[in-house]
């Protein structure tokens, strides 16, 4: 898989920030007080609210790989609609693309 453009830019310009970002992503992808799949669904919700369809799609796939059910994904989309209105709903539907 190809690196996102910003990772290469950080590698070349601010490796310390890249290290910090990677540690946060590690935290978000591991079980803690919240299971990793719940954290991933929360991230998917945020991307839906913020209007990042490719992030929603990628995070939905990650959540599935972590054991999230289709019902959990659909409920996350419903919450995006509740909190973000139609923009959250429309972007959230990218989670149904496989």
Q: Which two tokens stand for residue 86?
A: 């139609």
Residue ranges per structural domain of the chain: 36-98
Closest by CA to 45, choosing from 15, 9, 96, 84, is 84
What pTM did the predictor assign? 0.87
Q: pLDDT at position 5, please?
A: 87
Q: pLDDT at position 68, please?
A: 98
Q: pLDDT at position 4, please?
A: 82
Mean pLDDT of 47-64: 96
Biggest CA–CA distance in the chain, Å, is: 42
Which pLDDT band holds residue 1 (cuts at 50, 70, 90)? low
Which pLDDT band holds residue 98 (cuts at 50, 70, 90)? confident
């Amino acid at each position: 898989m190809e690196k996102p453009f910003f990772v290469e830019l950080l590698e070349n310009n601010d490796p310390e920030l890249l290290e910090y970002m990677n540690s946060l992503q590690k935290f978000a992808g591991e079980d803690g007080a919240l299971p990793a799949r719940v954290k991933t669904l929360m991230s998917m919700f945020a991307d839906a609210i913020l209007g990042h369809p490719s992030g929603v799609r990628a995070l939905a796939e990650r959540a599935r790989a972590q054991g999230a059910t289709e019902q959990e994904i659909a409920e996350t989309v419903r919450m995006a609609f509740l909190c973000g209105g139609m923009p959250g709903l429309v972007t959230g539907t990218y989670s149904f693309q496989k």
